[in-house]
Amino acid sequence: MPSVTAPLGGGGAIAGGSAPTAARGHGGGRRPRWLRVKDWDEHVEHLERMAATPGFLDLRDRVVELAGLRPEDRLLDVGAGTGLLTVAAAPRVARVSALDNSPAMCERLARKLSALGIGNAEVLLDGATALPFGDGTLDVVLSNYCFHHLTHTEKDQALAEIVRVLRPGGRLVFADMMFQVSVRDRRDRAVIARLARRMVVRGPAGLWRLARNATRIATGRWEHPARVEWWEDALARAGFAEVDVRALDHEGGIARARRPPGPGTRCAAP
C-alpha cells in the first residue's frame, strides 16, 4: 500500500496504522462542531459522496482536460482529499504526489490507491502553504475545491510555493468556489441567492444550515472563497503568466496559468 508521509509538519512516515495529528491545529475547545474550524478528518465519508456527484465529476473532467497531461509529467494534487483528481490523473502521467493536511483523508487515499493498483502515486500529509518539493521539480499542479479553505494570505503563500516548485513553463490548473459573500456584485448576489434557495427548499434542516452558515460568516469562521478578479490579480502577483480565470454557471470557477518559461520569475509572497 502506498505510504502516507509527513515530511514537514506531521510527525514522521506512516503506512496504515494510526494517523499523526500534528499537521494542523483545529482549535475550538468545547464549542459546538459547527462553530469550530472545519476538521476534515471528520468529513471523509461526506467528501467521498460529494466527489461522486455530477458537479464534482464535471469539475474533475474539466481540470484534467485543461491540464493537457503528458506521460512524462510529474504532477501535484493540492488538497487531494480522497483522490478525485489524483485517481483520474495517475494513469496519464509519470508520477503523482497527492498532498493533503488531513491525516484521515491521506489514510483513505493511500488505501484507495493500493486497492486500485495505482503504483505511481504517493500521498503526502502536508499543508498547501509550504510544499515539500525542490524548486522547479514539477510539471503540473492541480487542485479542486481546496483553496477556499485557505485565508487570502495563505492563498498567496500557496501560489508563491506553486510557482516555486513548477519548472519554467509548468502548468497550474484548479477549480474552486469563486465568489465573495457580498451584495455589491451581481454574480456574487446571484450565487448567494442560489445557495440560500438550495438550503431553504430542504426544509427545517436546510434552514438550520443556513442559520449556521450565517453565524459562521458573521463571526469570521466560514470559508474564504475569492472572486475571479482576485484570483487574476493573485496569480499575476505570484509571477504566473498566461493567466485565465473563468466563472462557471454556478458558484465555482476554473483557473489556469503557467510559470513563465524563462528566468526572472518573481516567487516571493507579497
Residues that bind ligand SAM (CB under 6 A): 40, 47, 51, 56, 79-82, 84-85, 100-102, 105, 127-128, 144-146, 149-150
Q: Distance between CA atoms of 217 and 19, rounded to whole angstroms?
A: 31
**How far from each other are the two terminal CA atoms of the chain, in whole angstroms?**
40
3-state secondary structure of 74: strand
CB of residue 43 to ligand SAM, shortest distance in Å? 8
Nearer to ligand SAM, 43 or 212 (CB): 43
Nearer to ligand SAM, 31 or 46 (CB): 46
Look at residues 267, 64, 253 and name the one whose alpha carbon lies nearest to residue 75: 64
CB of residue 183 to ligand SAM, shortest distance in Å? 25
CB atoms within 10 A of CB 71: 8
Contact of 7 with 132, CB cutoff 8 Å: yes
Q: Distance between CA atoms of 77 and 150, rounded to whole angstroms?
A: 16
CB of residue 184 to ligand SAM, shortest distance in Å? 26
CB-nearest residue to ligand SAM: 81
CB of residue 152 to ligand SAM, shortest distance in Å? 13
Q: Distance between CA atoms of 122 and 86, rounded to whole angstroms?
A: 10
181: left (phi over 0), alpha (psi -120 to 50) or beta: beta
CB of residue 129 to ligand SAM, shortest distance in Å? 6
Contacts of 38 (CB under 8 A, 6+ apart): 149, 223
Q: Maximum Cα–Cα distance for the chain, whole Å?
A: 57
CB of residue 265 to ligand SAM, shortest distance in Å? 23
CB atoms within 10 A of CB 267: 15
Nearer to ligand SAM, 40 or 240 (CB): 40
Nearer to ligand SAM, 40 or 231 (CB): 40
CB of residue 217 to ligand SAM, shortest distance in Å? 18
CB atoms within 10 A of CB 131: 25
Nearer to ligand SAM, 149 or 258 (CB): 149
Nearer to ligand SAM, 157 or 180 (CB): 157
102: left (phi over 0), alpha (psi -120 to 50) or beta: beta
Nearer to ligand SAM, 86 or 180 (CB): 86
Contact of 106 with 81, CB cutoff 8 Å: no
